[in-house]
């Protein structure tokens, strides 16, 4: 530690110079020294031997001085080498500190940007929540409208002719049940299904056709028959043997049930040749002509079977 302090203060060279000067003076004194004797007849051989001893001691001191100077030079060189390594380490640490400082500044700036973005996202989140709330309100309103339209359409189907009644009712049930369940169908899907069903009902209202099916008669028989459908207001049938026919029509009833609807078979109101001619016209076996059918539009209670 003391050596390092001397090197750091710059006193190493000064101390070395003083030490060498003292040794030189001491050597000169030793060389010029002759033992004093009151008797001038001292032995010359003893004086010479003492001088030789002094010279040997002086050489030993010079060697020690040289060794000390060499050691000091080596230590000095080692010190500067260590100092250079430390300086390089310090420089590298300074560079690392500068890099970390720049990284820290970049992170701070990025954190500030993230905070601003979070504030922006927070505002957008509130707007989205508001939009979702409004969408849910509109969705509920639209769901209620769909249910209302389904109910109106169901009423029209039930009050009309019994043409594919189960199939048409099942489609209405699928829409209403899908909206009312805990996991409802998508509102857009419900709207699409309702729109498709409305188009199908509209197509039925403006088209005519014949088709074959079984008809349940009042006596329990279910023979094959040709059916005639004209729009959604006329539905008539005639069995293959021509013995049974009828038209779906409202009937007046003065009983407790009031007006009823069912298959009417009466030659005065629905002659058999009228239904037969209608079948031939739709099968393109007879030229078109105007045919009169009785129809009714009132809401009625459905009741199957002949009167």
Dump strand ranges (E) for the chain: 208-214, 224-230, 234-239, 245-251, 260-264, 301-302
What's the first-to-final CA gap in the chain, in angstroms?
130
Q: What is the DSSP letter of 184?
A: P
Q: Degrees (nearest 5) of the Cα angle 272, 278, 274?
A: 30
- Give the tens place of pLDDT for each residue, 13-22: 566 667 677 6
Question: What phi, psi does 256 have (nearest 5°)?
Answer: -70, -25
- Answer for the pair 42, 48: CB distance below 8 angstroms, yes or no: no
Phi-psi region of 160 (alpha: psi -120 to 50; beta: other; left: phi over 0): beta
1 pLDDT more than 60: no
Tell me what the mean pLDDT of segment 62-68 comes to: 86
pLDDT-above-90 percentage for the chain? 12
Tell me what the mean pLDDT of segment 246-275 comes to: 67
Confidence of residue 175 (pLDDT cuts 50, 70, 90): confident
Could you state, in order of their start, the residue ranges of all structural domains in the chain?
1-31+50-85, 141-206, 208-307
Under DSSP, is residue 214 helix (H, G, I), strand (E, B) or coil? Answer: strand
Confidence of residue 2 (pLDDT cuts 50, 70, 90): very low
Tell me what the mean pLDDT of segment 108-126 comes to: 88
Residue holding tokens 């110079």? 17
Question: What is the predicted pLDDT for the residue at 23?
Answer: 66
For the chain, the helix, strand and coil percentages under 3-state DSSP, each to the nearest 5? 60, 10, 25
Is the pTM higher than 0.85? The answer reads: no
Tell me what the mean pLDDT of segment 276-295 comes to: 85
Torsion of CA 132, 135, 136, 138, to 10 degrees: 160
Q: Which of 104-113, 181-190, 207-216 has the lowest mean pLDDT?
A: 181-190
Confidence of residue 41 (pLDDT cuts 50, 70, 90): very low
Question: What is the predicted pLDDT for the residue at 94?
Answer: 92
Tokens representing 240 are 């293959």
Residues 6+ apart with CB under 8 A from 235: 161, 162, 163, 227, 228, 229, 247, 248
Cα(157)–Cα(202) distance, rounded to whole angstroms?
12
């Amino acid at each position: 530690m003391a050596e390092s302090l001397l090197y750091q203060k710059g006193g190493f060279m000064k101390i070395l110079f003083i030490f060498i000067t003292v040794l030189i003076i001491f050597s000169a004194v030793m060389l010029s020294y002759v033992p004093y004797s009151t008797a001038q007849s001292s032995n010359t051989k003893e004086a010479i031997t003492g001088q030789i001893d002094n010279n040997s001691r002086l050489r030993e001191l010079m060697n020690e001085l040289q060794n000390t100077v060499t050691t000091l030079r080596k230590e000095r060189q080692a010190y500067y080498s260590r100092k250079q390594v430390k300086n390089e380490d310090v420089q590298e640490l300074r560079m690392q500190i500068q890099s970390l400082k720049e990284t820290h500044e970049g992170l701070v700036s990025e954190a500030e940007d993230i905070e601003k973005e979070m504030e922006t996202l927070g505002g957008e989140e509130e707007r989205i929540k508001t939009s979702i709330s409004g969408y849910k309100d509109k969705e509920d309103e639209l769901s209620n409208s769909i249910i209302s339209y389904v109910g109106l359409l169901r009423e029209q189907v039930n009050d009309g002719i019994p043409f594919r009644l189960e199939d048409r009712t099942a489609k209405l049930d699928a829409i209403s049940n899908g909206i009312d369940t805990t996991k409802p169908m998508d509102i857009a899907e419900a709207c699409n299904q309702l729109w498709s069903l409305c188009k199908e009902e509209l197509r039925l209202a403006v088209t005519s056709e014949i088709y074959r099916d079984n008809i349940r008669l009042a006596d329990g028989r279910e023979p094959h028959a040709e059916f005639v459908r004209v729009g959604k207001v006329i539905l008539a049938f005639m069995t293959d043997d021509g013995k049974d026919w009828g038209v779906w029509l409202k009937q007046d009833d003065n009983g407790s049930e009031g007006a009823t609807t069912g298959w009417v078979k009466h030659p005065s109101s629905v002659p058999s040749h009228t239904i037969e001619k209608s079948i031939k016209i739709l099968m393109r076996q007879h030229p078109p002509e105007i045919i009169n059918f009785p129809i009714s539009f009132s809401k009625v209670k459905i009741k199957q079977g002949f009167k």
